[in-house]
Amino acid sequence: MILVMSHRRSFLATLGAAPVALSPAQTPDPPAPLDIFQAALKGDVARATELAKWNPAIARLRSADGRTPLHYAVEGGHPAMIMFLTIQGADLSAGPESPLLTAVDFHDRSVAAEMAQALLMNGSDPNVRRADGRSAIEVAQARGAREIVEMLVHRGAAGPPADSVKVERVYFGRRYSFDAQGRPYAPQDLDGLPQDFINEFARLAHFDAGRVKHLLRLAPSLAGARATWDESAIEAAAHMGLVPLARHLADCGAPVSTCTATALGLRDRVEALVGSEPACVRERGAHDIALIAYTALGEQQTAIAEFLLRSGASVRACALGNLTALHIAASKGYAELADVLIAHGADVNAAAQSRDGAVTPLALAWKAKQERTAQFLKSKGAR
């Protein structure tokens, strides 16, 4: 399966940026409501950021024809604006027709793929249809956009031509089913908490454990709440490698998916989940991060990696950007985990794109000054 993965890291960088100020003190006069649609169409993120200081709910405004700023961003072909609006709480499948439909039909194939990925990796519905009844996958196929067709099927698109496409299909059947002890998870009443507050809580869980714990004391039901980009705080902490914070959220009753259990080193839970539903090896975390990557994102989990790979998890699945789990393990000096991954078929010379060009696991190990791991990779034929 070939997927465009370039926007995961930029999305995570946006999540970690300073929050938009809610005070309009720096702006002498309020902007015109229509300005956000113009900014979105032009891809002017700086202007949109200024506008959001006046109205934090700016991503949910509607123009006269019922469209949101996200519709305009996709029409203009601006992936960075899509990211900005996503963090601002945009509805990624908003009507009158989902922005995804415009994305897959965009005239520039590479931009179309970037926009489709930005939407799909954060929970946009892959099965949306146009007013004429054509599905997103049918539109993509008519465009000859095989990469987007694969992306849609991977994220759950059904119907023709999905049945004939051979790619890994994600599975989320146990994502919100159990807590850390294996007890059935029951969503808590959010007591009317605004979605903007929930979004901010999930955003903070990427980097600010102290603030997350403070907010959790004020509103315990936040533990299982999900941001509009389909991510809970425990999932954010897990994929950022903030294992102590993820454990704290688990102790507070947050649901624990296969990905999160892997990051936490809960081997019994991982084995129970996969044992009850083998399709769990195809689970993806928030932002479409591959399950096997979670063996390297926090502490190295060699035993869990061995179990997952023997159970059918893909060792070559991309994680952040188009990095494989081996890239991540190499950068962190996890030689034991690297050994397991290579034994199960990981490409020791896989090239991943970065700002500095293509990088291999060995290059990342040297860059991170992980000499022991670098020497191990060389012994396995790394160049």
285-320: pLDDT as tens digits: 999 999 999 999 999 999 999 999 999 999 999 877
* Predicted local confidence at residue 15, as pLDDT: 61
* Predicted local confidence at residue 189, as pLDDT: 87
Residue 34: helix, strand or coil by DSSP? coil
What's at 88, amino acid-wise? Q
Same topology between domain 8-164 and domain 265-379: yes
Tens-place pLDDT, residues 340-358:
999 999 999 999 887 777 8
pLDDT band at 359 (very low <50, low <70, confident <90, very high): very high
What's at 173, amino acid-wise? G
Q: What is the mean pLDDT of the chain?
A: 92
Bond preceding residue 161 cis, omega within 30 of 0: yes
Please, which residues bridge with residue 353 across strands? 358
* Predicted local confidence at residue 241, as pLDDT: 97
Report percent pLDDT > 70 for the chain: 91
- Rounded Cα gap, residues 278 and 269, in angstroms: 13
Question: Which distant-in-sequence residues (6+ apart) come within 8 Å of 140 by Cβ?
Answer: 104, 105, 116, 148, 149, 152
Please, which residues bridge with residue 290 across strands? 284
* Predicted local confidence at residue 9, as pLDDT: 55
pTM over 0.85: yes
* Predicted local confidence at residue 187, as pLDDT: 87
Q: Which CATH superfamily is domain 265-379 in?
A: Ankyrin repeat-containing domain (1.25.40.20)
Gyration radius of the chain's alpha carbons: 21
| DSSP for residue 292 | G
Q: Tokens for 10? A: 């930029």
* Predicted local confidence at residue 162, as pLDDT: 87
Smallest CA-to-CA distance from 282 within 170, 122, 166, 158 is with 170
Instruction: Give the count of beta carbons closer than 10 Å to the beta carbon of residue 278.
Output: 12
CATH number (1.25.40.20, 3.40.630.10, 1.10.3720.10, 1.20.1250.20) of 8-164 reads 1.25.40.20
Please, which residues bridge with residue 135 across strands? 129
Q: What is the mean pLDDT of residues 132-141?
A: 96
- Rounded Cα gap, residues 273 and 256, in angstroms: 10
Q: Can you list the positions of beta strands (E) in 71-221?
A: none
Q: What is the mean pLDDT of residues 149-169?
A: 93
* Predicted local confidence at residue 10, as pLDDT: 57
CB 243 within 8 A of CB 105: no
Place of tokens 């002890």: 181
CB 298 within 8 A of CB 274: no
Smallest CA-to-CA distance from 234 within 212, 267, 219 is with 212
Domain ranges of the chain: 8-164, 195-258, 265-379
- 131-135, 250-254, 321-325: which has the minimum mean pLDDT? 321-325
Whether 163 has a pLDDT exceeding 80, the answer reads yes
Smallest CA-to-CA distance from 291 within 265, 260, 267, 249 is with 260
Q: Tokens for 83? A: 């990211």
Tens-place pLDDT, residues 91-122:
999 999 999 999 999 999 999 999 999 999 99
Q: What is the mean pLDDT of residues 213-221?
A: 96
pLDDT band at 233 (very low <50, low <70, confident <90, very high): very high
- Rounded Cα gap, residues 274 and 296, in angstroms: 19
Please, which residues bridge with residue 352 across strands? 359
* Predicted local confidence at residue 173, as pLDDT: 93
